Structure 1
Amino acid sequence: MTHVLAIGAHAGDMDLTAGAVLAQHVQAGDQATLLHLTLGERGHPRIPVAEYAEQKRDEAEGFAAAIGAGVRFLDYEDGLLPEDEDVKMRVGDLIRELRPDVILTHWSESIHKDHARTHRIVLDARFYGGLRTLERELPAYWAGELYYADNWEDAEGYRPDVSVELTEEAYEVWSRAITGYAFARGETYGFPYVDYYRALTIVRGAPAGVRRAQAFAAPKGSRDLRTRFFGKGTAA
């Protein structure tokens, strides 16, 4: 059984960009967990921050339940995500606890600083999680695979290395579940997230010769794409 851990800066980030693949793994008998470093609570122009934080948590829990994934939250503030040893150690400790085979997170460049910081946090947290000489409460654990999700806000320099073919069942489960987020429905600043990411599954699938896919990039120097995570993945 493969365990996929998707680490996002805000609740909704990995749900949009990798949620269909997570749903597909769950349907195949694997395990998936979403880890949100912040709730993205400052993302609504009309709802007070504290109220929207509660709403985003409910939406994130609803999405995870709908696709059959676990969900975890850290308590950092949207827009103020620190990039220090505390957050890196906390994420590293969760990696030791959850013991994922695969980690998904943000690409390195982004128009949102929380996304770029999450990328760097995850790189160090993965290192700390696997460092045997670093004594923590739990024993060291190295997450063997790391990939970067396809996010329109993280597009600078992004090159998808693989498109993961989606089953219609996984696509439909994800497509319904993602509408549970108000921002994804376009109710915050009007961007049509649901339409965009549904269409992107066709855009990423077509060059690979499949109906629908979600795409991922691999770290430099680790582009062996024949992995149990990607399954039917096709190199771009």
Structure 2
Amino acid sequence: GILEQPELERPEKSKSVPKDNSVTLEDVRFGYHDKEILHGVTMELKAGTVNAIVGPSGSGKSTIAKLIASLWDVDSGSIKIGGVDVKEMSLADFNRKIAYVAQDNYLFNETVRENIRQGNPDATDEQIIEVTKKSGCYEFIMQLENGFDTVVGGAGGHLSGGERQRISIARAMLKDAPIVILDEATAYTDPENEAILQNSIRKTGSREDTDRNRTQTFYC
């Protein structure tokens, strides 16, 4: 698991600046418990695109997502953003590039508003409300006892799995990172809200109103 992996070694200052937001895997191998899961994976995810990896359970989809998000390091091969190996980027620069949403996301024992604001500490209340409407969670938030000021409980225990997931997606959207990774991130979402989320994510991925080469979205 994640806790069994060694601490990531990254420079304090990035050695190079990525030329764009493309993601490239080159001959990536990875395994744990002496069992190799990925056997020389090579792929290119171009900037300004929406990509999906599909396959049966246990085929390595989530492993690839976690490696791109630098939750783990590859055993061999490389992962590059804009031609720069992620191992040559500072954690601060890398984290500005990536928004990662997993199937199970941790929420702090704070209000709904402050949990979403984790994506961008400088966001205004108006921006938070806007992103909840885009992510399909505004209505259920307004039905909570104290709306946006409702405390979600430890690990978000006062909310359902689907509600926690939608808040996590809203948080990722508020971060406005150029690369968005959704690792089974709509697993708990009902069909109606999943359609809302996917439509919003497509808009985020295309960035028709800004730079087509800026953003990409990656599904597992």
TM-score (structure 2 length as normaliser): 0.26
Choose between structure 1 and 2 for higher RCO, CA contacts under 8 A separated by at least 6 residues.
2
Q: Which structure has the bigger radius of gyration? A: 2
TM-score (structure 1 length as normaliser): 0.25
